[in-house]
Amino acid sequence: MNHLKKALIINTLFSSISGIILILLNRQIANIFGTKNNTVFWCIGIVLIYFALTIWYERTKQRRLAVIWIIIQDFLWVLGSIILISLNPFQITQSGIIIISIIAAIVLCMGVNQSIAFNKAKR
């Protein structure tokens, strides 16, 4: 198994598990974030599961543009997290901000890992 395939599988697992947690525990997560609106959490969960399925598909195909798009989406997630934390337009609790920060750091590591693996694979 090549490095890129491993990196994509790690992203698939993390995205899937995160999506499932957001769907199943949306009310509890909303409470941690200090909101009564739990809809956003299960919606993000569904999107993460779809994202994970697309990554799972690409783990073997490893089409250049598709993998680049996966990496870009990871970096956009990190950028969105930074903006959300910086502006905090929804008055997210301190616990919520810490959770967002930890997840953004993990996603950043996955994006960097995938970028390195992608660059090695295209040689």
Per-residue pLDDT at 1 exceeds 80: no
Among 100, 106, 49, smallest CA distance to 74 is for 106
Q: What average pLDDT does the structure give for the chain?
A: 96
The tally of domains found in the chain comes to 1
Q: What is the pLDDT of residue 122?
A: 72
CA 22 vs. chain centroid, Å, equals 12
Average pLDDT of the segment spanning 83-112: 98
Structural domain contains residue 122: no
- Expressed as residue numbers, the domain containing 72 is 3-116
pLDDT reading at 52 higher than 70: yes
pTM (2 d.p.) = 0.95
Q: Identify whether 121 is part of a domain.
A: no
